[in-house]
A and B are shown apart, each in its own frame.
Chain A
Amino acid sequence: MSITSILHELERAATWIAGLSVFLAMLIIALDIIFRLFKSDIPGSVEFITYYLIVAIVFMPLAKLERTGEMISMDLLMTVLPRPVGRAIEASAALIGAGVYALLTIASASFAMEKLAANFYVITSTYVLFTWPAYFMLPLAFTLGGVMSLLRGIERLRGPDIPSPEMSEAQMPGAGK
């Protein structure tokens, strides 16, 4: 199995986790409202969604966003520059991006380790919810995003085609099946 394939599988898995988190958040909130009609609730639902699911929804798709170039950016220069110059700029931008991801990875990993050392948790209405594992999603997502950004930069330097053939579909796993 090539490194690209492994990265592709990791990216798919991360996107799956994010997609599943959206679905779960919707389901939990909707069920909680139904339970409310019967003077009941799902204990710790707000805390679980706030500390785990929204974090997964936002950070886990970073690898996919970097691979497909869907990050919000400004296209001012690209519209006026010759294509080879534009490609060189895109490559350098992707490499700068990879550097920022590296910083974010180290910083968020050290933050996660601090939370682990403190055995970080929140107290819900009926139980204790350990939240330190959620902090580890960030270094994982930033690492994947950084690697994808780096690959995109290198591919841009080498030629116009960014993604490898097996990575060309910007879809959820199974979406095209």
Chain B
Amino acid sequence: MSGILVGSIAIASLLALLAWRVPVALSLILVSFLGVWATFGLTPAWGILKSTPYDFVASWTLTSVPMFVLMGYISFHSGITSGLFRLAKALFSRMPGSLAISSTFACTGFAAVCGSSVACAAAMGKIAIPEMVKSGYDRNFACGSIAAGGTIGALIPPSILMIIYGVIAQVSIISLFLAGIGVGVATAIGYILVILALSWVKPEWVPRSLDRSDVPPLGKALMETGPVLFIMAGIFGGMFGGIFTATEAGAVGAALSLGYAVISRRINRRQILESLSDTVSTCGSLLLVGVGAAMLTKMLSMTGLGLYISQIIGAFNFDYWQLMLMIVAIYLVLGMFLDPFGAMLITLPVFLPILHHYHVDLIFFGVFLVKMLEIGMITPPVGINVYVIKSVVGDLTSLNGVFKGIGMFFVTDILVIGGLIFFPSLFFLPVSG
């Protein structure tokens, strides 16, 4: 049997196993092993199965993942970032739709400490949604705005998705982080514009004014948030100033967050253990998928299927924008059914040779991909952020209600994607070729 035929059967089997609910990591490992075995025999297949798990994971760069994840969970369990919402309220209280704008701003700030969309949506949902509903916001809109705001988490550094993309695509993680800021900020601005527009068009959804008795004085809010802002400044300053590597920045951020949470008595022993437990669960499930993706990359390369697919797509002579729109369509569909990490790690081994063929800048693509995957977090039927918000608010609204509330934010996301494809320089990203 030819390598390409074996590779094709392996990919079809992979899809069948995924649909059969075999964990993504184990499906990838199994089809990669069998694909290499069928093409080249047992010895090379066994060699890959033996060495890949350890060799992939034993990496200094990958160590940044548990560090940033730990920082996020410590922030989440201790609530040290809750002051960001009060600071945003103090800053924006005179604007129409100020609570929704404040929650978007707070999501962006929380993202800078956390790196996870889900944690961002859960933390902000608990704080902001009850207050928004109390102030007269439409329930669906309040839930939708936080679910969408959470997606900013993966674009603003540190971003776990970007770290894993950087390891697989072998590009600089700090460059990815820098490039992500533009898209994250553009998304936040887009969301704020939606809120402002709705406050004029539908004031029954988004009240124009806020009861200022609940707004803390700016100085007090700044004092409360000061330590968190100091941690953020330390991480970004150290990382982008070339003092720390991404891994070191993650460890410093986790240590500072833990130190502050302990000193300010915001975290107890149980919450520390929960943070550690959540961290290892997240890292174990994520990075085992990474092992599977590394094996799939080897299988696609050895069978020649990866090159074959890129040659076929190359033969169509797609324009750059046609290729990108095709990728958008694929990720919109995948995002409906797959976790962002699963969707990214299954597709990257196939897409990377195609992107090389079309000379697409891999830093640009990393940010573009993360934005696409984040849209998957708020689209039905498996929009994870929507489920998180629903679990936070209980009977306040239905799942469909949260999806309805996301509508205008989804439109904004699509506009940002369009902007990324056609006017990448607007986002201060390297222009693709």
**A interface list, Cβ under 8 A from B:** 15, 18-23, 25-27, 29-30, 32-33, 46, 49-51, 53-55, 57-62, 64-65, 68, 70-79, 89-90, 92-93, 96-97, 100-101, 103-104, 107-108, 110-111, 134-135, 138, 170-177
Interface of chain A, main secondary structure:
helix
Given contacts A19-B279, A22-B283, A111-B50, 4 further A-B contacts (CB under 8 A): A57-B283, A74-B19, A90-B21, A175-B270
Are A33 and B54 closer than 8 Å at their CB atoms? Answer: no
Are B255 and A27 closer than 8 Å at their CB atoms? Answer: yes
Chain B: which residue is nearest A111 at the CB level?
B50
Residues of A within 8 A of B53 (CB): 59, 104, 108, 138
The contact size tier of chain B is 35 or more
Are A135 and B251 closer than 8 Å at their CB atoms? Answer: no
Are B248 and A73 closer than 8 Å at their CB atoms? Answer: no
Chain A: which residue is nearest B57 at the CB level?
A58
Residues of A within 8 A of B286 (CB): 72
Are B17 and A96 closer than 8 Å at their CB atoms? Answer: yes
Residues of B within 8 A of A111 (CB): 50-51, 54
What are 7 of the A-B contact pairs (CB < 8 Å)?
A: A58-B288, A59-B284, A61-B284, A64-B280, A68-B281, A74-B19, A175-B277
Task: Tell me the minimal C-beta distance from A78 to chain B in angstroms.
Answer: 6
B66 interface hit (Cβ, 8 Å): yes
Residues of A within 8 A of B143 (CB): none
Residues of A within 8 A of B19 (CB): 74, 76-77
CA distance A117 to B54 in the complex (A): 17
Q: How many A-B residue pairs have CB under 8 A?
A: 189
Are A103 and B277 closer than 8 Å at their CB atoms? Answer: no
Binds A, one of B195-203, B333-341, B399-407: B333-341
B342 interface hit (Cβ, 8 Å): yes
CA distance A111 to B58 in the complex (A): 15
Task: Tell me the minimal C-beta distance from B140 to chain A in angstroms.
Answer: 22
B239-292 interface with A by 8 A CB criterion: 244, 247-248, 251-252, 254-255, 258, 269-270, 273-274, 276-277, 279-281, 283-289
Partner of A176, one of B270, B279, B288: B270
Residues of B within 8 A of A110 (CB): 50
Residues of A within 8 A of B279 (CB): 19, 22, 57
Task: Tell me the minimal C-beta distance from A124 to chain B in angstroms.
Answer: 13
B63 interface hit (Cβ, 8 Å): yes
Binds A, one of B24-32, B186-194, B320-328: B24-32
Partner of A77, one of B20, B274, B342: B20
CA distance A60 to B285 in the complex (A): 11
Residues of B within 8 A of A55 (CB): 54, 57-58
Are B66 and A25 closer than 8 Å at their CB atoms? Answer: yes
B59 interface hit (Cβ, 8 Å): yes
CA distance A128 to B381 in the complex (A): 53
Residues of B within 8 A of A138 (CB): 53-54
B46 interface hit (Cβ, 8 Å): yes
Known contacts A72-B25, A111-B50: A89-B20 contact under CB 8 Å: yes
Are A73 and B284 closer than 8 Å at their CB atoms? Answer: no
Partner of B276, one of A19, A30, A93, A176: A19
Are B46 and A107 closer than 8 Å at their CB atoms? Answer: yes
Are A58 and B283 closer than 8 Å at their CB atoms? Answer: yes
CA distance A151 to B289 in the complex (A): 22
Are B274 and A171 closer than 8 Å at their CB atoms? Answer: yes
Are B252 and A104 closer than 8 Å at their CB atoms? Answer: no
Residues of B within 8 A of A108 (CB): 50, 53-54
B147 interface hit (Cβ, 8 Å): no
CA distance A33 to B250 in the complex (A): 12
Residues of A within 8 A of B283 (CB): 22, 57-58, 61
Partner of B24, one of A73, A90, A92: A73
Known contacts A72-B23, A93-B20: A103-B273 contact under CB 8 Å: no
Are B255 and A100 closer than 8 Å at their CB atoms? Answer: no
Are A54 and B251 closer than 8 Å at their CB atoms? Answer: no
Residues of A within 8 A of B280 (CB): 15, 18-19, 21-22, 57, 60-61, 64
Known contacts A33-B248, A89-B21: A172-B274 contact under CB 8 Å: yes
B408 interface hit (Cβ, 8 Å): no
Are B58 and A54 closer than 8 Å at their CB atoms? Answer: yes
Residues of A within 8 A of B51 (CB): 111
Are B285 and A71 closer than 8 Å at their CB atoms? Answer: yes
Question: Interface centre among B29, B58, B62, by most A CB within 10 Å?
Answer: B58
CA distance A60 to B281 in the complex (A): 10
Partner of A100, one of B30, B276, B287, B289: B30
Are B285 and A25 closer than 8 Å at their CB atoms? Answer: no
Question: Interface centre among A26, A46, A107, by most B CB within 10 Å?
Answer: A26
Residues of A within 8 A of B382 (CB): 75
Question: Interface centre among B23, B67, B247, B339, by most A CB within 10 Å?
Answer: B23
Residues of A within 8 A of B23 (CB): 71-73, 93, 97
Are B50 and A61 closer than 8 Å at their CB atoms? Answer: no
Are B21 and A172 closer than 8 Å at their CB atoms? Answer: no
B18 interface hit (Cβ, 8 Å): yes
Are A64 and B248 closer than 8 Å at their CB atoms? Answer: no
Contact with A along B2-38 (1 / 0, CB 8 A): 0000000000000001111111111001100100000
Partner of A29, one of B22, B59, B248: B248
